[in-house]
Amino acid sequence: MIRAILVVFGLIALAAVVPGSAQAQFYKGKTITMIVNYPAGGPTDLEGRIVALHLPAHIPGNPTIVVKNVGGAGGLIGSNQLGESAPNGESIGFFTLDVPGQLIGTSALKVRYSDFVLIAGVESPLVVYIRKDTPPGLNVAADLLKTQEFKALSLNAQNTNSLNQALALDLLGVKYHPIPAYRGLKEVETAILQNIGQLANSSLSGWSGSVEPTMGHVVMPLWQLSPRKNGAYPRSKALPNLQTFEEFYASVRPGKPLAGDFKYRALRVIGDPQLAMFRVAMMPPKASGEAVAIMRTAFVEMWKSRQFLADYSKVIKTEPILVTGAEGQEVLNGLGTVTSEIKEFLIKYTEAMTGK
pLDDT along the chain (356 residues), means of 10: 40 42 82 95 91 97 96 86 95 88 77 88 94 97 95 88 94 95 90 98 90 96 92 92 98 93 94 88 94 96 96 87 88 81 91 75
**CA–CA gap between residue 349 and residue 150 (Å, rounded):** 20
Final residue before a domain boundary, out of 273, 293, 316: 273
Amino acid 240 reads P
Q: Please report the pLDDT score of residue 29 as a whole number.
A: 93
Domain residue limits at 53:
27-122+276-341
Q: Are residues 41 and 77 in the same domain?
A: yes
Is residue 157 assigned to a domain? yes
Q: Please report the pLDDT score of residue 7 as a whole number.
A: 37
Q: Are residues 292 and 266 in the same domain?
A: no
Is residue 9 assigned to a domain? no
Q: Please report the pLDDT score of residue 23 as a whole number.
A: 67
Q: Are residues 326 and 221 in the same domain?
A: no
**CA–CA gap between residue 274 and residue 58 (Å, rounded):** 27
**CA–CA gap between residue 164 and residue 194 (Å, rounded):** 24
Q: Are residues 134 and 96 in the same domain?
A: no
3-state helix, strand, coil in the chain (%, to 5): 50, 20, 35
Final residue before a domain boundary, out of 273, 301, 321: 273
Is residue 319 assigned to a domain? yes
Is residue 300 assigned to a domain? yes
Q: Are residues 45 and 147 in the same domain?
A: no
Is residue 81 assigned to a domain? yes
Final residue before a domain boundary, out of 273, 299, 327: 273
Q: Please report the pLDDT score of residue 20 as a whole number.
A: 56
Is residue 16 assigned to a domain? no
Is residue 311 assigned to a domain? yes
Cβ of 105: how many Cβ atoms within 10 Å?
13
Q: Are residues 93 and 142 in the same domain?
A: no
Q: Are residues 133 and 265 in the same domain?
A: yes
Q: Are residues 141 and 265 in the same domain?
A: yes
Amino acid 159 reads N
Is residue 135 assigned to a domain? yes
Q: Are 332 and 113 in contact (CB under 8 A)?
A: yes
**CA–CA gap between residue 8 and residue 108 (Å, rounded):** 57
Q: Are residues 238 and 321 in the same domain?
A: no
Q: Please report the pLDDT score of residue 8 as a whole number.
A: 37
- What total of structural domains would you count in the chain? 2
CATH number (domain holding residue 329): 3.40.190.150
Sheet holding 64-69, edge to edge: 64-69, 31-36, 91-96, 279-283, 117-122, 322-324
pTM: 0.80
Q: Please report the pLDDT score of residue 108 as a whole number.
A: 77
Q: Are residues 43 and 170 in the same domain?
A: no
Cβ of 324: how many Cβ atoms within 10 Å?
16
Q: Are residues 202 and 280 in the same domain?
A: no
CATH number (domain holding residue 170): 3.40.190.10
Q: Please report the pLDDT score of residue 233 as a whole number.
A: 93
**CA–CA gap between residue 133 and residue 197 (Å, rounded):** 11
Q: Which candidate, 50, 37, 34, places its Cα nearest to that of 315?
A: 50
CB-based contacts of 309, cutoff 8 Å, min separation 6: 303, 319, 320
Q: Are residues 63 and 81 in the same domain?
A: yes
